[in-house]
Amino acid sequence: MDRLPADIAHEAAHFPEPLPLECGLTLPGFTLAYRTHGRLNADRSNAILVCHALTGDQYVAETHPITGKPGWWEAVVGPGRAIDTEQYFVICSNVLGGCMGSTGPASPRADGTLWGTDFPPVTIGDMVQAQARLVSRLGIGRLFSVIGGSMGGMQVLEWAARFPERVFSAIPIATAAHHSAQNIAFNEVSRQAIFGDPHFHAGRYRDHDEIPARGLAVARMMAHITYLSEAALTRKFGRRTRAQGPAAGRTLFDEMFEVESYLRHQGSSFVRRFDANSYLTITRAMDWFDLAADHDGDLARAFHGSRTRFCLISFTSDWLFPTAQLRAVARALNRAAANVSFVEIETDRGHDAFLLDEPDFHRTVSGFLKGCGEQQRKEENVLS
């Protein structure tokens, strides 16, 4: 590992006021690292908040400072893209608990020591609470839209439930109103892989100048499978093999399957950019997300009286957040008499489809935003 994520200077906003957390503890102030793209217009009505997924960050539409790779959503966010940065002011912040400059286990406390395992458990609601302060700091009362996939979609739903008056439109993608038993199970295996790494040192690995790289890599490899689909893996890799080890005396069994090589690469490159304690913190936040439970078991109550326009998007081959889970959200929104459209995109690329070049998906987003823009202008005309 050349350098730790914490060593990089990120653009960030500091909030000195204490942040009460859902667990009952209070953070004595916090920092959110964030990036913006495009320009806020004069009446501050064109801001779109992009919420990132488990292992995403604020580098949504520009080269990543650690990996050197393109931003994670350049397929969607940029000049002329579905979220057109020539038209919209895009904000993306690293979540509370993250490891790219926002306050989390990998960031320093007031006394200079790292939070590490002392970092309190945070929820999706806490993440949104922190983001809301950032949005206010940027001088924005109401967001034109909040959008995100997977855990980003959980934040979108939480934003719409918590701050309906601050969310003109909401686009939750490939997500659900609670984490399923199967998804909790996968997260738990991830955590056990990290706990089992001897370099984890009960979370105090920084004190030992080590990281639980193998455990974190195993966690990432497993999670990566769940982001794809059987069809996508078959198309991409099938049963193709490649040689490994010295050529002399090599037998069939000295070859490895290409899908194995691919996964190992996914695992090893991930540990260079992600903090294990952050992974634990954020997977916990996802597992505890249950928007209905926060509203007496009735998801419709979360959106009661909401005037937000919703566009829900799922993908046919996504088995991590299957369409049925988002359809349940659509039904709750209908019960709440909310304004909702629901689009299922046909693709065999699994959960990852929301990050990829999927023209139907992109057209859905741009079309919905355009329609919302017209609605917004009508409302303004009525008010003025």
What residues line the site for a copy of itself (CB under 8 A)? 22-24, 121, 178-182, 184-186, 188-189, 192-193, 195-198, 214-215, 217-218, 221-222, 225, 228-230, 233-234, 236-239, 251-253, 257, 259-260, 263-264, 267, 284, 287-288, 290, 293, 319, 322
Query: Which of 37, 178, 179, 351 is the catalytic position?
Result: 351
CB of 348 to a copy of itself, least distance (A): 12
Cβ proximity to a copy of itself, 134 vs 299, nearer residue? 299
| Spatial contact of 321 and 314, defined as CB atoms under 8 Å apart | yes
Cβ proximity to a copy of itself, 49 vs 221, nearer residue? 221
Whose CA is closest to 355, among 89, 147, 194, 109? 147
Token digits of residue 233:
């893996």
Cβ proximity to a copy of itself, 178 vs 309, nearer residue? 178
CB of 254 to a copy of itself, least distance (A): 9
CB of 246 to a copy of itself, least distance (A): 16
Cβ proximity to a copy of itself, 180 vs 375, nearer residue? 180
Known catalytic residue at 314: no
CB of 115 to a copy of itself, least distance (A): 16
Known catalytic residue at 150: yes
Known catalytic residue at 348: no
CB of 110 to a copy of itself, least distance (A): 23
Token digits of residue 168:
């003109």
In whole angstroms, how far apart are CA 335 and each of 154, 220, 289, 330?
Answer: 19, 38, 21, 9
| Spatial contact of 306 and 336, defined as CB atoms under 8 Å apart | yes
Q: 26-27 and 19-20: which strand pairing?
A: antiparallel
Beta bridge partners of 149: 173
Whose CA is closest to 336, among 292, 286, 289, 288? 292
CB of 247 to a copy of itself, least distance (A): 15
In whole angstroms, how far apart are CA 301 and each of 288, 323, 333, 337, 351?
Answer: 19, 21, 9, 11, 28
DSSP character string of 119-138: SPP--HHHHHHHHHHHHHHT
In whole angstroms, how far apart are CA 341 and each of 91, 170, 312, 361?
Answer: 24, 11, 6, 14
Query: Which of 145, 150, 278, 314 is the catalytic position?
Result: 150
Query: Which of 57, 197, 275, 318 is the catalytic position?
Result: 318
C-alpha count within 13 angstroms, C-beta hemisphere, residue 143: 30
Show which residues are catalytic.
150, 318, 351
